[in-house]
Structure 1
Amino acid sequence: MKDKAILITSFGTSHEETRQKNIVQFENFIGEKCSDYTIYSAYTSSMVRGILKKRGIEVDSVAMALDRMYQEGIKNVVIQPTHLIYGHEFEKIAHTLRAFEGKFERIEISTPLLAETDDMIAVVQILSNAIDVDSETALVLMGHGTDHYVNAVYPALDYVAKASGNKHVFVGTVEGYPEVEAVVDFVRKRGYKKAVLTPLMFVAGDHAVNDMASNEPDSWKSIFSQNGLEVTCVVKGLGEYPEIQTLYYKHLCNFL
């Protein structure tokens, strides 16, 4: 029996199609890469877990997954978050982990996607390569945003995009800075006539479907259109890109 395991933690999503395409697909990818480890899964959102439970889909919290691993004789644990930044959700995982340190011979947490500047450069390049645009079109990455101080990663990512030669890439957030109005202003001042919007999120869930791509008057798609820009939306989570999966795997390998 395997006594070492990888716990993949996600915020979670209630959108089943994107859950399969992003979270489940990534868990399967890590399972194939790390066949000598048992793979466990946990969602940090109690609301998402509750919605899924009503559909007959049981997903553990981080504490539940760690307790399950302890009961099943796991001795060596590495946690790989699918979160993008060292924000509130990451800190919740780290706090839960501390309560279990005495139960395992080794328990560590790997890094989120945008842990270092090199990660930012890589993610921008992956998305820029995947979503080809013409010279009149801006590529706008819509992040979640947070009231945590680590929200500074998002404007830093915008700066990194420009500095690495991707001047057509702009970064904004739903719940932080830069807000959509600031992004629209930046895009227009640079002379772009069109914009492709895509989520800078592991899954293309509620925010991507509703806040970004819907026809509601306050969606990003509508706001860009109201400002005279021709808009296209690519509703695809980061977890669907093989190159992003590989980047997470490289982070994980530092802890295996």
Structure 2
Amino acid sequence: MNLIKKSAIALCALAMVFTACSDDDNDDKNTLGDKEGILLVTFGSSFPDPQETFKNIDNAAKKRFAGETIKWGYTSDIIINKLRQGNGEGSLKGQIIDNDTPQEALEIMVKDGFSKFEVQSLHVIPGEEFDELKEAIHAFKEKYEGVSVKIGRPLLDSDADIKAVADILAVKFSEELKDGPVLLMGHGTPHAADAQYLKLQSELQKLNPNFFVGTVEGIGFDAGTTSIGGILAELDKLSPKATKVTITPLMSIAGDHANNDMNGNTGESELSEQSWKERLEGKGYTVNTVMKGLGDYNEINKIWMDHLEDAE
């Protein structure tokens, strides 16, 4: 009798184990809520000032998509690791992002009952990072069968986008252009989408020939990107010669690249490259710096929000 009881208890326990495992599998793959949400995706920053820019973009999304749940994700593992280790530059009080990758943010939202997502890339061009974002979303959709994910395109996606951004920047820098050329610093990439920077410069120069677009990764006009060296050569051709120039980031935020590669004081050590500001001052130019990211301009944010509205 005791043997029969023990066997029955063992069978019940085994059944409970299999039932629990089955429930876990259903929770992971089949049990989805019906809530809808928005995920804004950015490269990220460990600097304090860009947090205000992120808030401005966040406010634009909340105003345009009132009542929607809005989360954020970072695409930069380096930035995420720095922030998780408490290594941000200065105080990040008021930070609105939870230091999650896009995949992690989506996973959290699934656990909170979301199954329909609209993801907006806040990247400037549809380059490597945007491709990686699409790959991450593809893997997410394979893991959670039944989820719906639409993706909004980056800022300079189409020729119409490029013209619209050029029109906005021409107005924003109309006063600075009265004093001399305006130089915009993008990031640059070996991806084919790097061509978008020169397309933007072409549109800007139709409006004012004193606009120049360069990139941190630029290695010269002939290679399809613009370096500060290439821009300096173009400035030398201007007649009359300019004495004052304005520099500003062509990035969603004024973060590390804007503070260091564009406006920094790196010195003349052989181990460090001079910033744009230093190179220009070395050529005798008076340099005016506008430390604003593209996300600080509401008109630019509207384009990102339009892309979110049209997400596919």
Q: Which residue of 2 aligns with 1:184?
A: 232
Q: Take 1:36 and 1:27, find their aligned partners in 2: how far apart are those partners?
A: 13
Q: Take 1:67 and 1:133, find their aligned partners in 2: how far apart are those partners?
A: 45
Q: Which residue of 1 aligns with 2:113?
A: 73
Which of 103, 114, 120 is the matching residue for 2:162? 120
**Structure 1 range deviating more: 196-205 or 101-110:** 101-110
- Is residue 2:278 matched to residue 1:238? no
- Is residue 2:244 matched to residue 1:194? yes
Residue pairs, 1:126-137, within 5 angstroms: 126-131=168-173, 132-137=175-180
Q: Which residue of 1 aligns with 2:196?
A: 153
TM-score, normalising length: structure 1: 0.93
Residue pairs, 1:193-212, within 5 angstroms: 193-212=243-262
Secondary structure of the 1:133 match is helix
Of structures 1 and 2, the larger Rg is shown by 2
Q: Which residue of 2 aligns with 1:213?
A: 263
Equivalent residues, number: 254
Q: Which runs of 5+ in 2 are unaligned?
A: 1-32, 87-91, 219-224, 268-273
Percent identical pairs in the alignment equals: 33
Q: Which residue of 1 aligns with 2:37?
A: 5
**Structure 1 range deviating more: 180-189 or 118-127:** 118-127
**Structure 1 range deviating more: 195-204 or 149-158:** 149-158
Q: Take 2:187 and 2:132, find their aligned partners in 1: how far apart are those partners?
A: 17
Contact between 2:84 and 2:99, CA under 8 Å: does it hold in 1? Answer: yes
Q: Take 1:113 and 1:134, find their aligned partners in 2: how far apart are those partners?
A: 24
- Is residue 2:52 matched to residue 1:21? yes
Shift of 1:183: 0.8
Q: Which runs of 5+ in 1 are unaligned?
A: none
Contact between 1:2 and 1:37, CA under 8 Å: does it hold in 2? Answer: no
Residue identity opposite 2:99 in structure 1: V
Secondary structure of the 2:149 match is strand
- After superposition, give the CA deviation of every residue in 1:33-84 in whole Å (9 maximum; x if it has no partner): 2123211110011111111112397411011011112111212111101101
CA RMSD across the alignment: 1.9
Contact between 2:119 and 2:150, CA under 8 Å: does it hold in 1? Answer: yes
- After superposition, give the CA deviation of every residue in 1:178-214 in whole Å (9 maximum; x if it has no partner): 0001011112212333210000000101110111112
Secondary structure of the 1:239 match is helix
Q: Take 1:47 and 1:97, find their aligned partners in 2: how far apart are those partners?
A: 20
Residue identity opposite 2:131 in structure 1: E
Residue identity opposite 1:153 in structure 2: Q
Q: Which residue of 2 aligns with 1:141?
A: 184
Shift of 1:136: 4.8
Q: Take 1:133 and 1:149, find their aligned partners in 2: how far apart are those partners?
A: 31
Q: Which residue of 1 aligns with 2:17?
A: none
Contact between 1:170 and 1:187, CA under 8 Å: does it hold in 2? Answer: no
Q: Take 2:281 and 2:187, find their aligned partners in 1: how far apart are those partners?
A: 21
